[in-house]
């Protein structure tokens, strides 16, 4: 593709601005960043507005900006499952997570694994929570790189080979530097700029692009009928209906179990802040619906038929639909703004994710098993180092693994992270679950969920479950967590009875 000097100049200027903000953030609400709760949770002092931007930057990422419309572009109506799933998560956030925040605040918990360790008095169950969180987050970080690679390539930078990855590597060196220096304050401050850019881009897109294409009626008229509606059930299978419902429900149950989501919640200054955000964050669901429509706009614009974008589609597939649409619809300077919004939208969640993984490793592996007597300063220093290692691992991940496989691994990450539902959420309201049983349930759910994905060759997370002769395709995460829950519920009373008879518990 031809190098777009104007767009690249605007892109670099905006990227430079957020880099400066990232380093300035170390002096914002100044505190001792050698304390883990200050570096990794912002001192738990973020109010309603900052938490709104932080959680928005946490949950609505470059992957969302690229992949949701790409799925709509390629698969049609199925891609809209992301809209109801983001609507479902906010009642869960409102009803459940203020209670978790209160317990964590009173006990000084920095991670979800800290809470599980304290709640069930089992460091091995906490270890399972920590390892699952780190494992499920790594491909999520890598997928932020996918979004960045797509827009950097669309600007006309060299593609392919090591040279093609140089701009991406530079961006993540910058990310690593300001995250190490400023901790969670950096993505919190940058999230404000990121969201402003995204709102400007989206609202420009929903006005300018439809006007060029003849209006929304013309856009929908140009979309093939099979992409406008879900395919109805047929031949003894519920087909796309059950897949759509379970993808939405399973994704909603999994989202706030991710370490980066938990970090955003625990950094709030009070439970009231979380409740206010549960109401206010629904604005992002509206924006997500508009983002999804970009997939239909790309179909109407026929961007895949334009020879100027053939190389981009050849390299990135449907993920190139939105960048091609913007290149086709906007002037060069605004393309730079839009692409910067996507790239900065990758930096914010990637920073939070790396901090969350660092918190888990430091608190629940390093301090718990290796150096229980480490000082606060040593704990914070280790977290900073691990945050760098996680970023390097994500870069290596995306350089070594094909992008299509990495995207499927994100769905696999959802299968893994949802296994934390029983110990984290159910444990808030009942003490009837036994730590041994929860650990066995976690193992069973993780194994079965991974098997379901593996049986599909890791090309789909939708598993065709046979129930009384009817095929019910559904998200493997939801099916596997049901197994997890049933195992934990069935074994808890048995193991509790054995414990009362003198069988020693696993600590």
pTM equals 0.87
Can you list the domains of the chain with their CATH numbers? 5-233+249-402 (1.20.1730.10), 430-507 (no CATH)
Residue found under tokens 């190389």: 311
Residue whose C-alpha is closest to residue 344's, from 120, 117, 192, 156: 192
Hey, which bits of 455-506 come out as E strands?
462-467, 470-475
Is residue 294 pLDDT above 90, yes or no?
A: yes
Residue 393 Ramachandran class (φ > 0 left, ψ -120 to 50 alpha, else beta):
alpha
Residue whose C-alpha is closest to residue 475's, from 488, 465, 462, 460: 462
**Run of H or E including 340:** helix 332-361
The band of 441, judged by pLDDT with boundaries at 50, 70 and 90, is very high
Is residue 94 pLDDT above 60, yes or no?
A: yes
Q: For the segment 217-248, what is each residue's pLDDT rounded down to a tens digit?
A: 999 999 999 899 998 887 778 888 999 999 99
Interatomic CA distance for residues 239 and 497, integer angstroms: 43
- Count of CA atoms in the C-beta half-sphere (13 A) of 190: 37
Residue 345 C-alpha from the chain's centroid: 12
DSSP letters for 292-313:
HHHHHHHHHHTGGG-GGGHHHH
What mean pLDDT is predicted for residues 105-114? Answer: 88
Structure tokens at 482: 């049901």
C-beta neighbour count of 310 within 10 angstroms? 14
Q: For the segment 484-504, what is each residue's pLDDT rounded down to a tens digit?
A: 999 999 999 998 888 776 555
> Bigger pLDDT: 398 or 195?
195
pLDDT at 345: 82
Structure tokens at 429: 């309201």
Structure tokens at 5: 């000097």
> Bigger pLDDT: 479 or 40?
479
Interatomic CA distance for residues 83 and 88, integer angstroms: 9
pLDDT at 406: 46
CA Rg value for the chain:
23
Q: For the segment 390-432, what is each residue's pLDDT rounded down to a tens digit?
A: 777 666 665 555 555 445 667 788 999 999 999 998 888 887 8
Residue whose C-alpha is closest to residue 117's, from 357, 435, 430, 432: 435
- Count of CA atoms in the C-beta half-sphere (13 A) of 104: 30
Residue found under tokens 């780190």: 134
Give the least confident one: 60-64, 148-152, 260-264, 491-495. 60-64
List residues bridging with 475 in a β-sheet.
462
- What SS3 state is found at 462? strand
- CB burial readout 442-474, b (16+ within 10 A) else e: bebbbebbbebbeeeeeebbbbbbeeeeebbbb
**Run of H or E including 45:** none
Hey, which bits of 252-390 come out as E strands?
none
Q: For the segment 328-380, what is each residue's pLDDT rounded down to a tens digit?
A: 999 999 999 999 988 888 877 888 888 888 888 888 888 888 888 888 788 88
pLDDT at 489: 94
* Whole-number Cα distances in Å, 83 to 73, 248, 385: 15, 8, 37
Q: Taking CA 447 as the corner, what is the angle to CA 443 and CA 451, rounded to the nearest 5 degrees?
A: 170
Structure tokens at 438: 């929860």
Interatomic CA distance for residues 232 and 432, integer angstroms: 42
pLDDT at 182: 80
- Tell me, what DSSP letter sits at residue 474? E
């Amino acid at each position: 593709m031809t190098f777009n000097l104007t767009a690249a100049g605007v892109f670099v200027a905006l990227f430079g601005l957020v880099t400066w903000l990232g380093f300035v953030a170390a002096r914002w609400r100044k505190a001792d960043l050698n304390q883990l709760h200050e570096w990794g949770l912002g001192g738990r002092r973020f109010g309603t507005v900052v938490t709104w931007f932080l959680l928005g930057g946490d949950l609505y990422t470059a992957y969302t900006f690229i992949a949701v419309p790409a799925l709509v572009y390629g698969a049609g109506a199925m891609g809209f499952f992301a809209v109801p799933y983001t609507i479902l998560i906010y009642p869960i956030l409102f009803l459940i997570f203020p209670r978790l925040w209160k317990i964590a605040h009173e006990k000084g918990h920095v991670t979800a694994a800290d809470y599980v360790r304290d709640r069930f008095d089992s460091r091995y169950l906490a270890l399972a929570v920590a390892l699952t969180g780190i494992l499920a987050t790594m491909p999520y970080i890598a997928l932020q790189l996918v979004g960045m690679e797509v827009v950097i390539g669309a600007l006309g930078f060299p593609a392919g080979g090591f040279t093609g990855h140089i701009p991406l590597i530079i961006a993540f060196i910058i990310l690593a530097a300001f995250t190490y220096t400023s901790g969670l304050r950096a993505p919190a401050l940058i999230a404000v700029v990121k969201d402003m850019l995204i709102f400007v881009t989206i609202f420009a897109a929903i006005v300018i692009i439809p006007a060029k294409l003849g209006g929304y009626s013309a856009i929908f008229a140009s979309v093939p009928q099979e992409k406008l509606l879900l395919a109805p059930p047929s031949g003894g299978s519920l087909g796309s209906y059950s897949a759509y419902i379970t993808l939405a429900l399973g994704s909603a149950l999994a989202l706030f179990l991710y370490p980066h989501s938990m970090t955003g919640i625990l950094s709030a200054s009070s439970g009231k802040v979380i409740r206010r955000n549960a109401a206010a964050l629904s604005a992002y669901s509206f924006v997500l619906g508009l983002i999804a429509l970009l997939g239909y706009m790309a179909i109407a614009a026929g961007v895949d038929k334009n020879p100027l974008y053939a190389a981009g589609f050849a390299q990135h597939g449907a993920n190139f639909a939105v960048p091609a649409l913007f290149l086709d619809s906007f002037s060069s300077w605004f393309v730079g703004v839009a692409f910067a919004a996507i790239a900065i939208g990758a930096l914010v969640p990637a920073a939070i994710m790396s901090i969350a993984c660092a918190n888990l490793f430091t608190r629940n592996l390093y301090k718990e098993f290796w150096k229980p007597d480490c000082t606060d300063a040593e704990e914070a220093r280790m977290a900073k180092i691990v945050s760098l290692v996680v970023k390097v691992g994500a870069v290596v991940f995306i350089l070594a693994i094909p992008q299509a496989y990495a995207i499927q691994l994100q769905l696999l990450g959802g299968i893994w992270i949802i296994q934390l539902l029983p110990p984290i959420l159910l444990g808030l309201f009942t003490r009837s679950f036994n730590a041994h049983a929860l650990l066995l349930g976690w193992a069973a759910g993780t194994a079965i969920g991974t098997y379901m994905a593996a049986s599909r060759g890791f090309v789909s997370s939708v598993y065709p479950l046979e129930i009384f002769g009817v095929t019910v395709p559904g998200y493997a995460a939801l099916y596997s967590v049901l197994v997890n829950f049933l195992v934990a519920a069935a074994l808890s009373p048995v193991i509790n009875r054995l414990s009362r008879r003198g069988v020693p518990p696993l600590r």
